[in-house]
Structure 1
Amino acid sequence: MKFFLDNNLSPKIAKVLDILDSSNSVIHLQEKFNRDISDIDWIRSLGQDKDWIVLTADNKILTNPHEKAAWKESGLIIFALKKSWLSLKLWDFASSIVRRWPDIIKSSQKASPAQCFIVPIKGEKIQLLK
């Protein structure tokens, strides 16, 4: 599987996950696109490949009508981190995402195109957005 982290997440997190998970590929937006690319443009571009799974803390993708339409049309699977993730310092974020990574992988394996999963920091299960 190929995972894509958007600009709301640190490129360092993508590198760590890519190193730790030798079965999958993890890249950051800045490895594939210009930093200032619009969400709609990278969503459409990734959607042409159809093999990408997106990890984001930008929940506008799920609520902004234009971004949501681009996502649904693209068929990309999205894992949206709850807002509380953004309050974590880098080390806490890194340790939390590494702990959640096996759950993200399991959910990815069962996912269908254009599904979105909400990822809490800890405790709760990853939930499919209906």
Structure 2
Amino acid sequence: MRVLFDNCTSPVFASTLHGFIQHFGHQAFHIRDVPGLSNGRHSPDLEWIKLLRMAPELWIFISGDGRILKNQAERAAVRSAGLHGFILAPAYQKTPLHQVASTIVLRWPDMLHLTEIVSAPSMHEIPFGKHTKLRSLPL
């Protein structure tokens, strides 16, 4: 499985998660490092969603911006691409990077499990707090 962190997240999250999951055969990329994106970090959401849809590998994405659910075109693109998406709760925007990175690593087994038991497309929020479950979001 491959994980894309969009432009609303720090590259630190992708490299931290990659270091943890690469031993299991998974990879994590920040949008600036995704092979095949012509505009790199400046690629609009619709462009990277299309790239993930066309890729032969299984991709999920993690975003720091819940507005992807409010834009009709982006919601439709995520649905048609059959992606699993995870949105960081708004509280993470004021949280130090090292705490957010550690929470993503801590939540990885839950996220992986959800992608195995829930049919794509799906969206979930990564809540702030260790003992709170991932919350399903309407797509």
TM-score by length of 2: 0.86
Rounded to whole Å, the distance in 1 between the matches of 2:115 and 2:28 is 13
Match of 2:67 in 1: 60
Q: In the alignment, is residue 105 of structure 1 matched against residue 112 of structure 2?
A: yes
Q: Secondary structure at the match of 2:9?
A: coil
Match of 2:134 in 1: 126
Shift of 1:111: 2.6
Q: Secondary structure at the match of 2:133?
A: coil
Match of 2:18 in 1: 18
Q: In the alignment, is residue 41 of structure 1 matched against residue 47 of structure 2?
A: yes
Shift of 1:64: 0.8
Rounded to whole Å, the distance in 1 between the matches of 2:61 and 2:101 is 17
> What amino acid is aligned across from residue 118 of structure 1 in structure 2?
E
Shift of 1:102: 1.7
Q: Could you tell which deviates more after superposition, 96-105 or 29-38?
A: 96-105
> What amino acid is aligned across from residue 13 of structure 1 in structure 2?
F
> What amino acid is aligned across from residue 36 of structure 1 in structure 2?
H
Runs of 4+ in 1 over 4 A off after TM superposition: none
* Amino-acid identity (%): 30
Q: Secondary structure at the match of 1:35?
A: helix
Shift of 1:127: 2.0
Q: In the alignment, which of 11, 16, 29 is matched to residue 31 of structure 2? A: 29
Q: CA RMSD in A?
A: 1.4
TM-score by length of 1: 0.91
> What amino acid is aligned across from residue 50 of structure 2 in structure 1?
R
* Unmatched 5+ stretches in structure 2: none
- Aligned pair count? 130
Shift of 1:83: 1.0
Shift of 1:63: 1.1
